[in-house]
Amino acid sequence: MNETRDLIVGIDFGKEYSQICYYDRKADEPRSLPVKVGSSQFEMPTCLCLRADQKTYCVGLEAEYFAREKGGFLAGNLYEISEQKTQVVIGGHKLEPWEILKHFLSEILKLLGISEIEKNIRSLSIAMESLNTIQVENLQKACRELGIPESHTILLDYEESFYYYVMTQKMETWNRSVAWYSFDHQKVSFRRMSMNAGTRPVLVRLGEAVTTELSEKMEERDADFYTFIKNTLGKELYSSIQINGEGFDQEWAQKSVKLLCYQRRKVFYGNNLFARGACSAGAERVLNHALKDYRYMSSSLVLSDIGMEMRVMGTPAYYPLIESGRNWYESNAYVELILDDTSELVFIVDTMGEEGKKRIAMALPGLPERPAKTTRLGVSLQYTSQAECRVVVKDLGFGEMFPSSGKEWTETTRWQEETR
């Protein structure tokens, strides 16, 4: 590994197996790291072990070994743990889910072979099958406790990781549609990535998944996959075909591979797609900025610009809070303001695809009566899903003259569904 500072790191945090890679600036591409120096194995079991001394942890194959042979205490369901809020007992110790994730991330980052790794990370991207509010909170806190600030952390689902993986390859592999076959043993799903070149920015979308079950018998499996390819690819022109997951093998897929490669179509297969995609996301955001004219229309994308009208330095102005085009778990804002003869807040909402802007009011019942311009409020906005945003308002008082009442108002809103 030839990178030692300002590292850009990608992790595939999978339900069964995980991987890590770093961005090689000289080669201008992500590099996968083996689980052991000199080996060609890049996947590790997604598990954590508290060694018998109850002081140190290990992950992956080493974790399984210490649990099996050395009396260690294994936590093998880390993905499930990431989805919960309740404490988990490991070796008699009660740990919060974020603490367990912190230990897992700390150990997997040691594969980079750099001391004080947390201080040398410019971007850490973590890809998962999907993300909910609890997972986001647990992972963000785990990273913060490791010393990696939120501004240096990127969370993304597998769909978005696929987008970054594909779009950072050579343009001839994605300038038309891209086919994606993802295997899960006998099950295989197909999705088509397409782009609307007539818009600015160019909008990139992943179609709905089409899934089928293949036969367990090899000959029949090849025939099943062949039929599935014919039905899903149709007569569409594809720049490339991407295949990943456990279950695909050229030994049984001989007829299917010939069809995939028909008319010299470019076909790629590998199981490091999501780690490389996560790493590419970090490199794109902090280093390359090559995709500034493209926008991935993910299912996690916030579609509304949120702001307020207020006086800034005495001049009326629109004050932006949250911009559209970012994932919901990256969309938050905080502002402090002083009320001027009003007992409500008014947010300006401009939603993609809708005409005109909405003015949405939030009442503040029980707000202490004070003279104009003597009530200071702290206003925080945090998306909790693609559609819902939680607004928390706190009375901060106004110095010694009007101490804070301690009152707090919370409201969860769906901006797109609110009326004017």
Burial 311-338 (b: 16+ CB within 10 A, else e): eeeeeeeeeebbeeeebbbbbbbeeebe
The answer to whether residues 193 and 178 touch, using CB atoms and an 8 Å cutoff, is yes
Domain 162-272, what fold? Nucleotidyltransferase; domain 5 (3.30.420)
Query: In angstroms, what CA-CA distances link 201 with 198, 204, 272, 287, 400?
Result: 9, 9, 29, 20, 50
Q: What percent of the chain has pLDDT over 90?
A: 84
Encode 72-103: b = buried (16+ Cβ within 10 Å), e = exposed: bbbbbebbebbeeeeebebbeeebbbbbbbbb
| Helix or strand run (H / E) with residue 347 | strand 344-351
Q: What mean pLDDT do residues 259-276 have? A: 94
Contact 49, 75 (CB under 8 A): yes
Give tens-digit pLDDT for 20-31.
999 999 999 999
Q: Where are the alpha helices (DSSP H) in 203-298?
A: 218-233, 254-260, 273-283
Comma-separated ranges of CATH 2.60.34.10 domains in the chain: 304-417
User: Is the pLDDT score of 58 beyond 50?
Assistant: yes
pLDDT tens readout for residues 278-330: 999 999 999 999 999 999 999 899 999 999 998 877 788 999 999 998 999 99
pLDDT tens string 355-367: 889 999 999 999 9
CATH of region 304-417: 2.60.34.10
Q: Alpha-carbon dihedral of residues 256, 261, 262, 265, nearest 10 degrees?
A: 140
Q: Furthest-apart CA pair in the chain: how many Å? A: 83
CATH of range 7-148; options 3.30.1330.30, 3.30.950.10, 3.30.420.40, 3.90.580.10: 3.30.420.40
Say how far apart CA 342 and CA 364 lie, in whole Å. 10
Query: Nearest 5°: phi and psi at 100?
Result: -65, -40
Q: What is the pLDDT of residue 283?
A: 98
What is the model's pLDDT at position 420?
44
Could you write out the DSSP letters of every residue in 291-303? TTTEEE--TTB--
Q: What's the token pair of residue 267?
A: 């076909």
C-alpha to C-alpha distance for 348 and 358, rounded to whole angstroms: 6
Backbone phi, then psi, for 136, in 5-degree steps? -60, -45
pLDDT tens by residue, 208-267 = 999 999 999 988 999 999 999 999 999 999 999 999 999 999 999 999 999 999 988 999
To which H or E segment does residue 181 belong?
A: strand 177-184
Domain with CATH 3.30.420.10 in the chain: 162-272
Give me 298's structure tokens. 């993910």
pLDDT at 336: 96
